[in-house]
Structure 1
């Protein structure tokens, strides 16, 4: 399994959004949902239109089997409102082209992200990149590692910082500034 990184550069995020917007509304919304919610891809893919009708996601995490309530960011709420217009409550948000009403699978989500990564020449990207990108920018804006730890359901702040690549940032900076 490859180790994936968050997308740290806001300009790169804008470029990827623009890329998806020009190609596919579904893929654009998958990306926007991931980077604005901090949910795992396994919790994003089964979302239905009805799950977006409140101002929060109320889900049972697939990995931990724990009930979780995540408030939607204003940007995500706005985008989802537009995206679900004309869709039925029972429909999956990220429908596959195969079958009548089936969500895309994890491997398709990965392919979608890899395509955008190739477009912007980005490596170390995968489905977890969405969650890590959310975490990285949440931390950079709030500096609240305890809150992020709670959102991610991690057991320690150290795990959270390592997970979102803050430790990597520090090591990279230290190596760039190192002189003998």
Structure 2
């Protein structure tokens, strides 16, 4: 697999909900995990989501890296996790979701430190995006159709790039050697 690994979707969800329900100082980090694995955004775009956006059924953002507009559906997993935040001052004000106790938006470095704390040393913010991709691919029966859709979502030049990005190609190569 290239770069950071993906986090198994169910493990990420379970860990995130445990963080949220524990009401710890990392509570909104749990919501970041849920949003990350359900929206497939790059960390720069994820960090700037607001409560007002997450309260809607769908949002349109302009991706920071590509400058392309993208419409995202806020699914039930995000809405359910968000329900734990209704008493938050920022929730009512509609402000940024992923802020530190000092009130500033998390940095990607801070997110990476927290991911390593809750998962493993190789996990990075990019792991959330890969988890989203692996879940889409798995839910669609590991189909070529899902790779085409993910290639569009991720703005990859080809499905071959998406296969490499998700670590699928390496797994297939490993299977060749293991099945000789």
TM-score for both structures, normalised by structure 1: 0.84
Q: Secondary structure at the match of 1:47?
A: coil
Following TM superposition, by how much is the alpha carbon of 1:14 offset from its aligned partner in structure 2, in angstroms? 4.7
1:26 maps to 28
Please say which of residues 84-93 and 135-144 is displaced more in the overlay.
Answer: 84-93
The list of structure 1 runs, each at least 4 consecutive aligned residues, that deviate by more than 6 angstroms after superposition, is none
Inter-CA distance 171–34: structure 2 relative to 1 (3 Å threshold):
same
5+ unaligned residues in a row in structure 1: which ranges?
none
Inter-CA distance 9–32: structure 2 relative to 1 (3 Å threshold):
closer
Paired with 2:163 and 2:68, the residues of 1 have a C-alpha distance of: 22
Q: Secondary structure at the match of 2:61?
A: strand
1:85-164 matches, within 5 Å, as 85-86=87-88, 87-98=91-102, 101-117=103-119, 122-142=120-140, 143=143, 144-164=146-166
Tell me the C-alpha RMSD between the 2 structures.
2.1
TM-score for both structures, normalised by structure 2: 0.84
Following TM superposition, by how much is the alpha carbon of 1:15 offset from its aligned partner in structure 2, in angstroms? 4.8
1:4 maps to 4
Paired with 1:18 and 1:137, the residues of 2 have a C-alpha distance of: 18
Following TM superposition, by how much is the alpha carbon of 1:172 offset from its aligned partner in structure 2, in angstroms? 2.5
Q: Give CA-to-partner distance per residue, 1:76-102, whole Å, 9 cap, x none.
A: 22222443454234421011122xx42
Q: Give CA-to-partner distance per residue, 1:16-66, whole Å, 9 cap, x none.
A: 335533343211101111011101111010111111121123211111111
Following TM superposition, by how much is the alpha carbon of 1:107 offset from its aligned partner in structure 2, in angstroms? 0.7
Q: Secondary structure at the match of 1:88?
A: helix
1:70 maps to 72
